């Protein structure tokens, strides 16, 4: 049975594979693709479903798809097909405009521990678009209804398997925090944070030094976790920690918005790139940003 686009997208999402969706939004002149034609581009730059035209157009769209996956930004490209192809003097046809949207896997937020702070971090983490995994023997769906997954039988932390873009927050309330931290450090996730008192954080770091972790590795540990918001309650602590994660994920500065210099542009959006038929001899030319909000 032929797959629909939704089937392909669901498979890629479940596998956590980056991909992009290209949609023809406008055609002018003689173009083989039609308005609304779609293609799904995988992380290797190949079309795994759909069609947006012949090899010339496909080359340009796939190249743009790879760029979008790398930056996380949507792009609109103008593909000029009214040009020579491979020097044979035969034009492909008219031109078309293609909207390319990258779809990158959600990072996973690994929460080690339970308690009210862990519960709040789970809830807020889910709200901001993270896949939340809670690893603790006491974790229940009643306490963590927003979790994508609960791990309750992992005494040696072997189920803690963060990737390089994932976030690990250790909130075990001292129990096993040094052991889970050792496991997390060995796997090199994008962010490792410890929620503990200053004294306890110091003890954990000393333990890791004794275990042979070099200082450059220990420098990657955020202890203590979160931004300085003056947080007091578990809910406020959760907002502080997730704010730090958002800052790192989106490349923020942590400054108040009124401290940022005025740029004259209200928000970032899709870029428009004009290109020819996509053969190697054609170099895309960049154009100013089009103010349209985008979600990666």
Coil/strand/helix, residue 271 = strand
Cross-strand partners of 150:
134
Cα distance between residue 15 and residue 7, in whole Å? 12
Position with higher pLDDT, 285 vs 113? 113
Residue 146: name the closest of 238, 16, 225, 65 by CA: 238
Are β-strands 285-289 and 271-275 bridged in parallel, bridged antiparallel, or unpaired?
antiparallel
Digit-coded pLDDT (tens) for 159-169:
989 988 899 99
Cα distance between residue 245 and residue 253, in whole Å? 12
Has residue 147 got a pLDDT over 50? yes
Contact 151, 157 (CB under 8 A): no
Spans of all domains in the chain: 5-105+265-289, 108-250
Tokens read off for 128: 């901001």
pLDDT of residue 186: 86
CATH 3.40.50.720 fits 108-250, yes or no: yes
Digit-coded pLDDT (tens) for 227-239:
999 999 999 999 9
Cα distance between residue 131 and residue 81, in whole Å? 42
Cα distance between residue 5 and residue 92, in whole Å? 27
Cα distance between residue 95 and residue 85, in whole Å? 14
The stretches of the chain forming alpha helices (DSSP H) are: 5-15, 55-71, 116-127, 177-187, 198-210, 215-218, 234-250
Has residue 280 got a pLDDT over 50? no
pLDDT of residue 286: 36
pLDDT of residue 80: 84
Compute the average pLDDT of residues 8-37: 91
Q: How far is CA 82 from the centre of its chain?
A: 37
pLDDT of residue 1: 58
Compute the average pLDDT of residues 206-230: 88
Position with higher pLDDT, 38 vs 201? 38
Supply the mean pLDDT for the chain: 83
Has residue 46 got a pLDDT over 90? yes
Q: How far apart are the first and last CA of the chain?
A: 30
Compute the average pLDDT of residues 184-189: 87
pTM value is 0.72
Residue 283 — pLDDT band, cuts 50, 70, 90? Answer: very low
Has residue 111 got a pLDDT over 90? yes
DSSP structure string for 106-169:
PPEEEEE--SHHHHHHHHHHHHTTPEEEEE-TT--TTT-TT-SEEE-S-TT-TT----TT-EEE
Position with higher pLDDT, 126 vs 81? 126
Tokens read off for 216: 């450059």
């Amino acid at each position: 049975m032929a797959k629909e686009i939704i089937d392909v997208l669901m498979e890629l999402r479940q596998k956590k594979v980056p991909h992009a969706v290209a949609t023809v939004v406008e055609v002018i002149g003689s173009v083989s693709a039609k308005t609304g034609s779609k293609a799904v581009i995988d992380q290797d730059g190949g079309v795994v479903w759909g069609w947006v035209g012949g090899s010339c157009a496909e080359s340009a769209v796939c190249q743009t798809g790879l760029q979008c996956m790398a930056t996380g930004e949507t792009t609109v490209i103008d593909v000029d097909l009214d040009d020579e192809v491979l020097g044979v003097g035969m034009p492909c046809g008219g031109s078309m405009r293609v909207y390319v949207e990258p779809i990158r896997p959600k990072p996973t937020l690994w929460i080690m521990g339970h308690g009210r702070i862990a519960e709040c971090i789970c809830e807020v983490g889910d709200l901001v678009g993270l896949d939340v995994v809670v690893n603790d023997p006491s974790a229940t769906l009643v306490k963590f209804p927003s979790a994508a997954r609960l791990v309750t039988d992992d005494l040696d932390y072997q189920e803690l398997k963060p990737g390089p873009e994932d976030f690990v927050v250790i909130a075990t309330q001292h129990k096993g925090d040094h052991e889970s931290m050792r496991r997390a450090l060995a796997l090199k996730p994008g962010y490792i944070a410890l929620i503990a008192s200053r004294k306890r954080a110091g003890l954990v770091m000393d333990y890791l030094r004794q275990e042979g972790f070099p200082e450059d590795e220990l420098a990657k540990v955020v202890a203590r976790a979160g931004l300085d918001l003056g947080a007091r309650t578990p809910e406020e602590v959760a907002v502080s920690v997730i704010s730090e994660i958002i800052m790192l994920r989106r490349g923020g500065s942590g400054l108040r918005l009124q401290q940022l210099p005025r740029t004259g542009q209200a928000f970032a959006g899709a870029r428009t790139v004009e290109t020819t038929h996509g053969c190697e001899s054609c170099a895309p030319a960049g154009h100013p940003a089009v103010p349209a909000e985008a979600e990666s």
